[in-house]
Structures are given as structure tokens and as C-alpha cells.
Amino acid sequence: MIYVGTSGFSYDDWVGPYYPQELKKTEWLSFYAREFSTLELNSSFYSIPTAFSLERMAQKTPDGFQFTIKANQDMTHKRDDNQSVFVQFIAALKPLIEQGKFGCVLAQFPTSFHNTPENLDYLKLFRERMGDLPVVIEVRSRDWLDDATFNFLRRQQFGFCCVDEPRFSSLMPPIAEATSDVAYVRFHGRNAKKWWTHKEAWERYDYTYTPEELQEWLPKLQNLADKSRRLFVFANNHYRGQAIETARQLKLMLPGAG
């Protein structure tokens, strides 16, 4: 199954470009879920959601809708004395799991998280604490890009997060690799001019993909779909709803995408 959606949905600058002016904010998710089958929830990185809040979100989506939830920053960026954070985070997922609306956890690590024995041990600990929940790992340092890493992720039953972003030598290249039964791709945009130099964070994601740029990914996406049970594809070029158009184009290009 191929699920296509966006990274986040609650953006004020989507009013007009996507959400009707008269639509209440409490109805944004229901409106979004009429068109897309999945959502990457990013707010959990900053604050662990409650089971109640995720239950309310689930109620606004149809049967079969899938949420992927970004791991809290204390799980990926601080990594010290954080066992209680895992317990709280996992407990919050219960309503989604019970309703069959939980896709996976996205664990996004910082650029400073290098391929070292210490960090490999932390990933083993991460798996131990997450139990058998599906988890996808997003790393940002190129020293992870080798067969040993991919084999390690397979042994730990971690998915590998593939990304499309500006083609700087310091950023991750557009590699497509499936290391578990969950494959995952994030389209961050290719705004090279604003990637490192910007006043506001959203400037980095102010980018409109051309059909030709997305076509480059079609063979890779089809290969990932063939090698996994579920493929999640998210557009993160969110400024003024550009992610919506990216996701729409991807849905049209991918046969069977929901």
C-alpha cells in the first residue's frame, strides 16, 4: 500500500491556498483527510501529545487513515536520562494503535548524530524501548550511508528515511533504500538559496517541485513499494500549501496511491 500526504497540516499560511477562509481551524484535519490517506504529525517533536489529543485527531479521519508520529526531541536529540519520555510517548499512541490508524514513528536525528559505536548502541536501546512498534530512522550525516548501516537497520527492524533536498555535498543524497516492511520518503524541497541562510524557518521549505523533478523519483518509489508492505511519502515543502500540490502530483504519478 502506498500512502501519500504532507508533513503537518496545521499551518495558518494554508488558509486561502488550501483551506477555505471560512473553515474553522478545528475542521482543518477533517478537510485534509477527505483528500489524503496519511499525515505526518510533527508537533510531537516539540511536545509529547496526549492519548486524548490523538484520540480526537483519529475521530476526525476516516477508517484506514494512517498517522506517522515524529519522535519527541528528548528521544533523538538529548538522549540522556530519557526512559520516562519513551514510556509517555508510547502510551500516547494507544488510541491510534487500537483504531488501526498508527503507521509508524519517525525518529529524526540531528546532523551531529554520527555513525559511531556509541550511537549504534543508542539505536539498539531505542529499539529495545520501542518494543515491536514500527520505527523509521532519519539520519542527516553521510557517514551512515553504507551497506553496514542498512544491514544494521534491517537487523533492528528499523526503516530508513529517504529524503529529497538540495544537492549539497553536506546533505543526504536522494538514495532510496528499504530496510524494513515500512518504506518512507520525505520531500523537503530544493531551495538551495535559503537552505542555510534564512531569517524564518519556513523559508527553507518555500519550494515548488516541477513534475520533472518528481518524475525522477518514480522508479525509486516503485522499487520501494515493491520491497515493503507499506510506503509512506510525505511532502514537507509546506510554505503556503506547496506541499499539497506536491502530494497531489505524487498521487497522480503513483498507481494505487491512497
- Asked whether residue 178 is assigned to any structural domain, the reply reads yes
Per-residue confidence at 200, pLDDT binned at 50, 70, 90? confident
Cα(195)–Cα(191) distance, integer angstroms: 6
- Asked whether residue 143 is assigned to any structural domain, the reply reads yes
- Asked whether residue 154 is assigned to any structural domain, the reply reads yes
Lowest mean pLDDT among 45-54, 94-103, 150-159, 160-169: 160-169
- Asked whether residue 118 is assigned to any structural domain, the reply reads yes
- Asked whether residue 258 is assigned to any structural domain, the reply reads no
pLDDT tens-digit readout, 30-71:
999 999 999 999 999 999 999 999 999 999 999 999 999 999
Per-residue confidence at 204, pLDDT binned at 50, 70, 90? confident
Grouping H, G, I as helix, E, B as strand and the rest as coil, residue 251 is helix
CATH number at residue 159: 3.20.20.410
Q: 171 and 165 in contact (C-beta within 8 Å)?
A: yes
- Asked whether residue 162 is assigned to any structural domain, the reply reads yes
CA angle 79, 169, 206 (to 5 degrees): 80
pLDDT tens-digit readout, 132-143:
999 999 999 999
Residue-number span of the structural domain to which 40 is assigned: 2-253
CA 201 to chain centre: 18
Cα(200)–Cα(137) distance, integer angstroms: 26
What is the domain count for the chain?
A: 1
Residue from 18, 52, 21, 12 nearest 36 by CA: 18
pLDDT tops 90 at residue 4: yes
> What's the confidence (pLDDT) of residue 161?
98
* Angle formed by the axes of helices 51-59 and 83-92, nearest 10°: 30
Per-residue confidence at 213, pLDDT binned at 50, 70, 90? very high
pLDDT tops 80 at residue 258: no
> What's the confidence (pLDDT) of residue 100?
97
